[in-house]
Amino acid sequence: MLLDLTDDETLLKSSLEAFARQELAPRIKPFVDRHEFPTELVKAFLALGFMGTAYDPDHDGGGLGTKGAAIVAETLARVEPGFAAIYLCNSAPMTVIARYGSPELKARWLGPLCRGETLASFGVSEPHGGSDVAATRTRAVEDGDDFVITGSKIFSTNAGTPLHGLSTVIATTDPDKGAKGLSTFVVPVGTPGFRVGKAGRKVGWRIADSVELYFDECRVPRANMVGNRGDGLKQILTTLSIGRILVAAAALGLSRKAVDLARTYAAQRKVGGAPILSNQGLAFPLADALTKIHAAELMVRNASAIADAGRPFRTETSMAKLFASEMAGEIADLAVQVHGGYGVFEEFDVSGLLGEAKVLQIVEGTSEIQRLIIARELAE
């Protein structure tokens, strides 16, 4: 498989790298150290239109599909994985609106999101449910031309930030139908009864706030339903599959960062008068890391191409996400080990990579969930 980029993809990558080099890299560390959402940096990123990379130009998107979105996630994560998290967690609600929303919903929300005028969050996971989306207890009860939503969600990233404008929320509209009774709604910030909890401190994604969402008889118009009633589970599973490609791409970027830091340190650090990089005990594991990174890149590109072609892609995305996120953990651990004692001090960027990699192994479905999905191929 050739890894050459198209002219548009090359321009996207070079523009992103310029932003990352000139704006993000010099300014992001204090925000990471404080676990603080970098509002002004995110505004600068949004103003460049990168949030719309994947989506239809009719809604002010870039039209570069999942492959373009993966380029964004990887490039950002190579500098700061938490900044990539802000991007990919905004992409999930954008994707569900873009794929299933009415023309009115797209005009009202997708265009502004593509233009970077606001941020969105995804309301799926619940305290009792974990990976079982079908166990949703949040209810949406029909009342005239409205639905009244009651319940809560957890781990909703981007919610509660100064730029947060809406959440896409999955709720039970027909409890007697089980998983077939789930529907998705757009809930704008400021809707009475919609409240956001306090952000917790995480070992990874430290600048990307993740909070609980509360809905206390939160009334939204019927027009805010995304797609058809009862299609919520299908919508969310498809959106999660696309999200897994972006998580895999972020893991790829993180792994490249880990190798960059390890290689630079090992080339400068001398023991017995020679750089420790000349020691095969370190050089060979780094060679293995480069090989795995290449394999992960092929998997991400392949899964992106299949998704953009409109073919079934769930298994391939799970494979890419599983391999890339597990790889990121291994390579982050190696990079810390290369740094020796310095690797555990927060002054060194490498110290935070293990936590960042662990988050990627959990979000958008844990490694165990990915193995479950892949294992189903054995029975077919």
pLDDT tens-place string over residues 104-119: 999 999 999 999 999 9
DSSP string for residues in 238-280 = HHHHHHHHHHHHHHHHHHHHHHHHHHHHHHH-EETTEEGGGSH
Please identify which residue in the block is written with the tokens 């193995």.
371
d(CA 24, CA 17): 10
Find the mean pLDDT for residues 276-287. 93
CATH class of 7-119: mainly alpha
Q: Domain 233-379: which topology?
A: Butyryl-CoA Dehydrogenase, subunit A; domain 3 (1.20.140)
Q: What is the dihedral of CA 118, 123, 124, 130, to 10 degrees?
A: 120
Confidence bin at 378 (pLDDT 50/70/90): confident
Q: What is the pLDDT of residue 132?
A: 77
pLDDT tens-place string over residues 286-326: 999 999 999 999 999 999 999 999 999 999 999 999 999 99
Q: What is the pLDDT of residue 134?
A: 76
Q: Which residues pair with 148 in a beta bridge?
A: 141, 219
10-14, 22-26, 41-45, 132-136: segment of lowest average pLDDT: 132-136
List, by residue number, the catalytic residues.
364
Instruction: Pinpoint the residues of the chain covered by CATH 1.20.140.10.
Output: 233-379
Give the dihedral sign, CA 298/301/307/308.
negative
Whether the predicted pLDDT of 1 surpasses 80: no
Instruction: Pinpoint the residues of the chain covered by CATH 2.40.110.10.
Output: 121-230
Cα 216–chain centre separation: 28
Looking at the chain, the whole-number percentage of residues with pLDDT higher than 70 is: 99
pLDDT tens-place string over residues 199-225: 889 999 999 999 999 999 999 999 999
Task: Let me know: does 64 contact 54? Beta carbons within 8 Å.
Answer: yes
pLDDT tens-place string over residues 77-107: 999 999 999 999 999 999 999 999 999 999 9
Confidence bin at 2 (pLDDT 50/70/90): low
Task: Let me know: does 354 contact 329? Beta carbons within 8 Å.
Answer: yes
Whether the predicted pLDDT of 13 surpasses 80: yes
How many Cα neighbours within 13 Å face the side chain of 32? 26
Please identify which residue in the block is written with the tokens 């939160």.
218
List the one residue out of 135, 104, 124 whose CA is nearest residue 169.
124
Looking at the chain, the whole-number percentage of residues with pLDDT higher than 90 is: 91
Q: State how far the alpha carbon of 333 is from the alpha carbons of 80, 124, 150, 153, 285, in Å.
A: 17, 31, 42, 32, 11
Q: What is the pLDDT of residue 135?
A: 81
d(CA 196, CA 253): 31
CATH class of 121-230: mainly beta
Contacts of 150 (CB under 8 A, 6+ apart): 138, 139, 141, 215, 216, 217, 218
Instruction: Pinpoint the residues of the chain covered by CATH 1.10.540.10.
Output: 7-119
Whether the predicted pLDDT of 15 surpasses 60: yes
Q: What is the pLDDT of residue 78?
A: 97
